[in-house]
Structure 1
Amino acid sequence: MRRPRWWTELILIAAVYAAYSCGRLLARGDRTAAVDHGLAVLRAEETLGLDLEHALNRLFTATPALGIPADFAYASLHYLVTPAVLVWLFRRRPAAYRAARTWLMLSTLLGLAGFTLLPTCPPRLLDPAHGFVDTMAQFSAYGWWGGEASAPRGLGGLTNQYAAMPSLHVGWALWCGVMLWRYGRSPLVKSLGVAYPLLTALVVMGTANHYFLDAVAGVAVMGAGLLLAPYAMRLTDRVITGGSRQSAPLVSGGWETSAGERIPGQRSAPAAADDTPASAR
């Protein structure tokens, strides 16, 4: 399969990411509703015994050697590893690139729909009585971020802090992991493909940026995007080709017949002029 043009891919990815970023800002939602949704998620986890983020957040808060690297990972890897894997696929696995890119983009747009329909307050923004500490704020002196998510200091107003459900940090990390596992050749690359999404899930919970169920929703969104990707690619192909169909194949399919034999439905060719005397036939 021919590799797509790099400049068209760059424009497409930039357009989708811009739409995602703008839509994420517009889908801020009501703060009261977001807090209610966050508390509902937390109560559901506590009922099911799935509130893993409490223990992880206490560990990261009490151990700067874990909390600070986790904050750096949360603030940067999401925006570095995913583009790097896209470029790697484009250059080294062109036959797999288009399907992988379509899967990632569809899942991202589905995540945006989740932010819009279900604005959710992350654990770090709940009342302190619920037992969570914002490690990004606690260790902000060590990084470029301030007290408002992972945005650089002074730019917190440009982020939607209630875009927690689903966790696309986990979703994108899962996509990267699948690509590294499936197309990586060395055991090291495949091991990174397993470790990266697991590490990301621990980071987003330990820093109190996401609930465990946010991570589960991120995986679900990626699964939905994977199922929809083939249909999206076929639709795109139809639009690009204008719905044109190939001409019907020959009835014979390329096979020849013996003298005097005709395939049913085959049109006879006009008889060629024959100067051979009848007596010689």
Structure 2
Amino acid sequence: MTITATAPRAAAYRGKLRWWTELPLIAVVYGLYSGARLLVRGDVDDAVDTGADILHFEQLTHLDPERWFNHLFTEHAFLGVPADFAYASLHYIVTPSILVWLWLRRPTHYRQARTWLLISTLIGLIGFTLVPTAPPRLLPGAHGFIDTMAQYGSYGWWGTDASAPRGLGHLTNQYAAMPSLHVGWSLWCGIMLFRYGRNVVVRTLGVLYPLTTALVVMGTANHYLMDAAAGVATMGVGFLLAAPALRLVDRVQARVTGAIAARRGKSGGQTVVASNVANGANAAGGAKVANGANGANGAGGAKVPSPRTVPVPDDADRDPGAPGGNAAGRGERSRMS
């Protein structure tokens, strides 16, 4: 005999997820992300020194391709303009779209993937707070980087302050280069597409998207190679922490649910006991009355007279000629006469 196990139906599992709890959760984490970039600006001089140190380390190890990509994008507008559009928009579009796709088509994997993304984003916030870093485009001119977002600003909605729309540059923290969540989020999206995609095109996009994003962030002079590597490491740590975090959440939810159920069961049990006692008393009383009545009928065969029953006169008081009179009485009277 062969025993097969089937996965839970997607519709049944989706019933455990609530969009009115998912959307606020994601909104809160994204709000923290944006708020941290805004509030934790760090010291500009320290951020510039950190960026210069990262670039110097890359030059010593001969792992500094960002300058070559930056020159390529600034010299060829057909590369620089699409790269600027990709940097300014894709992470706002692709990442939420993947979340919605998982919710609708892969609900059994959504919770794990969402938790992975959220934890990694929180780790990125810690990096922004502890290591404020100036991107290559904000290093002194001697380093030779050109801000392609400013160069091709007339093609898009952004100004000279990263990818923020014109006039809103004060709402972003430009010294939050380490780690690169552009790369981290794109890696998460690529893994989701490659793992859960059902055709070659989707899986190919899953491979190309994070690679293209890494080239874009370096070519636009917004991140170093080390930032991209830190973004990958951030997603790795988030992946390792996702499963324990979910187990902890499930354990807490189980305890809270059990406590609530026990409290409801205790109050409900008291009501049920009281109701059963009352019902038992009524049933016992009814049984006693019924048994008493049946016993009386069985013993004497006579009915218990009701208060409205008229007493029947004795034979001595009856008229001998009346119907139903006693025969013995009539005979006695005839002999006397």
1:204 maps to: 217
Contact 2:33 2:121 in 1 (8 A): yes
Matched, 1:11 2:24: yes
Instruction: Provide, for residues 73-120 of structure 1, a one-character-per-residue CA deviation record: whole Å limited to 9, x for no partner.
Output: 000001000000000000000000000000000000000000000000
Partner Cα distance (1:244, 1:150) in 2: 45
Matched, 1:176 2:192: no
2:4 maps to: none
User: How far apart are 1:197 and its partner, in Å?
Assistant: 0.1
Query: Aligned match of 1:164 in 177, 183, 189?
Result: 177
Partner Cα distance (1:90, 1:43) in 2: 44
Query: Aligned match of 1:134 in 147, 158, 161?
Result: 147
Partner Cα distance (1:56, 1:29) in 2: 28
User: Helix, strand or coil: the match of 1:20?
Assistant: helix
- What RMSD, in angstroms, separates the aligned Cα atoms of the two structures? 1.0
Instruction: Provide, for residues 210-232 of structure 1, a one-character-per-residue CA deviation record: whole Å limited to 9, x for no partner.
Output: 00000000000000000000011
- Report the number of matched residues: 245
2:66 maps to: 53
Larger RCO (alpha carbons 8 Å, 6+ apart) = 1
1:218 maps to: 231
| Structure 1 moving runs of 4+ over 3 Å | none
Partner Cα distance (2:76, 2:65) in 1: 17
Partner Cα distance (2:257, 2:160) in 1: 55
Letter in 2 for 1:184: G
Partner Cα distance (2:256, 2:57) in 1: 48
Superposition map of 1:44-123 within 5 A: 44-123=57-136
Query: Aligned match of 2:251 in 212, 234, 238?
Result: 238
User: How far apart are 1:244 and its partner, in Å?
Assistant: 7.3
Matched, 1:192 2:205: yes
Letter in 2 for 1:216: A
Letter in 2 for 1:115: F
User: How far apart are 1:152 and its partner, in Å?
Assistant: 0.2
Partner Cα distance (2:33, 2:61) in 1: 32
1:249 maps to: none
Letter in 2 for 1:129: A
User: How far apart are 1:21 and its partner, in Å?
Assistant: 1.1
Query: Aligned match of 2:34 in 10, 21, 24?
Result: 21
TM-score between both structures, scaled by the size of structure 2: 0.72
User: Helix, strand or coil: the match of 1:102?
Assistant: helix
Query: Aligned match of 2:43 in 23, 30, 42?
Result: 30
Letter in 1 for 2:28: A
User: How far apart are 1:239 and its partner, in Å?
Assistant: 1.6
Larger Rg: 2
Q: Structure 1 unaligned runs (5+)?
A: 246-281
User: Helix, strand or coil: the match of 2:158?
Assistant: coil
Contact 2:137 2:147 in 1 (8 A): yes
Partner Cα distance (2:65, 2:256) in 1: 51
User: Helix, strand or coil: the match of 1:35?
Assistant: helix
Matched, 1:144 2:157: yes
1:228 maps to: 241
Looking at secondary structure, tell me which structure has more helix per residue.
2
Letter in 1 for 2:120: S
Partner Cα distance (2:213, 2:114) in 1: 21
Contact 2:73 2:220 in 1 (8 A): yes
User: How far apart are 1:148 and its partner, in Å?
Assistant: 0.5
